[in-house]
Every structure is written in structure tokens, then in C-alpha cells.
Amino acid sequence: MNLTDAVLSRHTVKAYEAGQTLPQEQVDMLLTWLHNSPSSVNSQPWHFVVASTPAGRETIAKAATEAFAYNRPKIIDASNVIALCMRADLDEAHLQAVLAQEERDGRFKADGARENQDKSRRSYVDLHRYALRDVPQWMEKQVYLALGGLLLGASMLGIDATPMEGFDAAALDSALNLRERGLTSVVLVALGRRSEKDFNAGLPKSRLPKQDVFTHI
């Protein structure tokens, strides 16, 4: 499957075939892609909780109640569910951890490269913290960059996927003890094999006309 085929063929799955488990090799590949997602100034303000067992999916499903109960079957019946989370803040410990990892990975070849990278990243953090005052929104944008790559990667592998914002974030944070770890949930992705009940599979893709979406200059 080429990239265009993957983009045109993917859709948001509405129902999964329970008991269908994805090959671990494919799951590992998706997690590798997710791990290597791009982020502004390599800030990596995320954490990913991967539920691959019935107990794990049941834990995540605790956040799909009341107004969000319609998403519970997708979570329970999927092969894997990933909770994409973001940090509460880009604190000093995280900035130091990212810088140290970059050094271990050999990214600083030239004299002063380490210091320049640290200064540059901190300038963006300070811009969003003090001038724009939108650090949470900025971090959330990075998580959605990772989400886009994950959905495209799943389609390239022929894996069905469902991104979900319809869940109780406070309930999920509590179920996964996220806030004690300085994290909060942003979006869920279910992965697996769609069932015959997936009505969306038979519907055509719909987008606004290109002339309304693109301006060429």
C-alpha cells in the first residue's frame, strides 16, 4: 500500500471484531513510529499508555461512561488501545532529561551544540510560558502530531483505528494514576480489526472541495 492509498482508504472505525488480536510485530512497529514522532524543539511532552490485555482495556473503558458510553464497545473489543497523554508542564527535570538523551544519542557534534540546543529549546518554552501563556495548548499540539502519524501508520499496515476524544479525562487520569505522575490524558486510539457492524466502512469519504480548502499563490 502506498501513502495515497493509505490516506484514501482509512476511516474512523465504529465497531471492532472482539477477540481479534493484532500481530505483536505490527504493534511494535506502530509503537516505534509513535516513539519517533516529531515535536516542536524535540520537546517530547508526552507519554503513551498501551492497553493490550482485557484488563488494560477495561481500565481505560472506565472513562467511557454516561455521555461517552457509546465508545465503550470500541475500547473493549479492540485489540489494543493507546491513551495519548501530555505532561502537566515542561519542567526542569524533563528539559534536562531530553537534553541528556540527545547527548547520549550523539546529537552534539560541534562545539557549543549542546548549549545552543538547550538555549533554543528553553527560549520556546519561555515564549509559550510567559509571552503566549499557552504551554498546555502547545504541548497538546505535539500530542496531536503524534496522533496523526499513528493513524497514518496504522492505515499503511492495514490496521483499523479509531481516534476518540469522547471520554471522561478526569476519570481516565484517575484510573491510570496519571496526575500523580504529572500527566493528563488527551486522546484515545483504538486499534484492531473492524467488524461487520462498522457502518462507516461502507460510506464514502467526504471532504470539502479542493478549491475551498487550498489557496495557491
Are the C-beta atoms of 191 and 22 separated by less than 8 Å? yes
- Please tell me whether residue 208 adopts helix, strand or coil conformation: coil
User: Residue 188 pairs with which residues in a beta bridge?
Assistant: 83, 164
Residue type at 179? R
109 classed as catalytic: no
Q: Which of 14, 17, 109, 196 is catalytic?
A: 14
Q: Is 74 a catalytic residue?
A: yes
Is residue 14 among the annotated active site residues?
Answer: yes
Spatial contact of 189 and 51, defined as CB atoms under 8 Å apart: no
Give the angle 17-18-20 at the CA atoms, nearest 5°.
Answer: 75
Catalytic choice (103, 115, 119, 165): 165
Q: What is the side-by-side strand order in the sheet with 46-51?
A: 46-51, 80-87, 183-192, 160-164
Annotated catalytic sites, by residue? 14, 74, 165
